[in-house]
Amino acid sequence: MRGLCFLIVTFFLILIPVGNIFANYSSISLSPSGGQIKDQYLSVDVNVNSGSDEFIGIDANIAYTGPLSFVEGTSSKCGSFQATNNAGVVNIECFYFEGGSYNGEVATLRFKITGSGNSVFSITSTDPETDTKTGATYTLSLSSETNDSDNAELPATGIFDDSRVVIAFGFFLLLLSTIISKIGFKGWADRRRDNFEKKF
């Protein structure tokens, strides 16, 4: 009978998700929480408050919209960390092994801004669960100067801006070269003729 009870308890423990064994964290939030971003890149910090519970890490899905391209995710808090992007959703997996409660930044997500418009970040799920999930909304303003910096061209010198000027200058150099060559050849031919006449 004891063996049967042990098997039943073990079976139900296996069915229970690991995250649900632990009490919920107090909150997860993103910072900055909003504002206008005038830059080529956007950095978003992921903050977790475990409350009175032990912080063991977190698995979170963060969805985003707008003209953004995910670059990378980094963490100085997690003992093991991974960030992956799939169709506008960044999944972060953070494992922490030192124990104790925690309230602070666990990861930083970096995005490249590819255009202007609104961008909404929302935390769709976490494990362990969190009582409060706070996303962020940004207004992205990618100026023409910032956008052109990736494809910067050499500054115009002014004199060679017009292709017609370049062509005319090329013809002038060719003509000058031809004249100099003819003058040089004539001088060489005259010297050869003088030397020949002196011999005879």
Domain containing residue 139: CATH number: 2.60.40.680
Q: Are 44 and 138 in contact (CB under 8 A)?
A: no
Total domain count, the chain: 2
Residue 133 counted as domain residue: yes
The total of other beta-carbon atoms located within 10 Å of residue 60's CB is 22
Residue found by looking up tokens 């993103």 in the block:
30
- Tell whether 169 and 85 lie within a shared domain: no
The total of other beta-carbon atoms located within 10 Å of residue 26's CB is 16
- Tell whether 45 and 66 lie within a shared domain: yes
* Neighbour order of strands in the sheet with 57-64: 34-37, 136-140, 117-127, 57-64, 89-95, 80-86
Residue 37 counted as domain residue: yes
- Tell whether 30 and 127 lie within a shared domain: yes
Residue 196 counted as domain residue: no
pLDDT for residue 16: 43
Q: What is the pLDDT of residues 189-199, one digit of tens each?
A: 566 556 555 55
Residue 187 counted as domain residue: yes
Residue of 150 and 84 predicted with greater confidence: 84
Length of the chain, in residues: 200
DSSP 159: T
- Tell whether 37 and 134 lie within a shared domain: yes
pLDDT for residue 5: 44
Residue 59 counted as domain residue: yes
The model's confidence at residue 99, banded by pLDDT at 50, 70 and 90, is confident
Nearest by Cα to 61 from 97, 14, 103, 94: 94
Structural domain of 173? 161-191
DSSP string, 1-50: -HHHHHHHHHHHHHHS-HHHHSPPEEEEEEES-EEEE-SSEEEEEEEEE-
Q: Is the pLDDT of residue 116 over 90?
A: yes
Look up residue 162 and give its two tokens. Answer: 């017009």
- Tell whether 76 and 143 lie within a shared domain: yes
